[in-house]
Amino acid sequence: MGNIIRSAFSERELRPRDHLSDALDNYFNSQFRYFMEETPLRIIKLDEVTDRAKHFLLKDKLLMKIVEKMTNKVKAFLTGLGRRYRITIYTSRDMEVPDWEEVVFSIKVDERDFDTIIALWDKIEDEIETVIGEMKQNRRQEASYIDKIYQDLAIEVDRIINV
């Protein structure tokens, strides 16, 4: 596991798909299937999760569960509004602190008006906070860790450029 992941991430951030990426996808699929057998949640489409984000999710099952629930909640919310959207999960690094990396939950919506995007962002954050609250209620022993995950998770809402 470690060698494939380290090689895949250190050598191919911007390169086209290769056998390492396929191996990583196969590994992620097998781990994800195992996790999903224990947790009956809807699966996140793999093309919406970057390889590096997959690495973070595989390392932390609770983070994976939170991201799954957030994805399902946001999809249901936006679908209910009749919105077209794209959700992507990726990682981001700070140029000034190169050792620091965060998981980004990115939602692109079919809206051009800035004020409407901000209003949607507020509503999406409310939906996500509901998920976090429910997770903390169901996992009281892990409530402080859930708070830390939520603080370390970046949420971005922007307009769709391409669907």
Structure confidence by residue, pLDDT tens digits, 127-152: 999 999 999 999 999 999 999 999 98
Q: Give the per-residue pLDDT at 29.
A: 60
92 Cβ contact list (under 8 Å, min separation 6): 101, 102, 104, 154
CA distance 68 to 19: 27
Structure confidence by residue, pLDDT tens digits, 9-68: 333 343 444 555 566 666 566 555 544 444 433 444 445 888 889 888 889 999 999 999
Residue 98 predicted with pLDDT over 90: no
Q: Give the per-residue pLDDT at 39.
A: 41
Structure tokens at 52: 């590096």
Domain ranges of the chain: 45-159
- β-partners of residue 103 are 91, 153
Q: Give the per-residue pLDDT at 43.
A: 43
Q: What is the arithmetic mean of pLDDT over 78-86?
A: 90
CA distance 106 to 109: 10
pLDDT category of residue 3 using cuts at 50, 70 and 90: very low
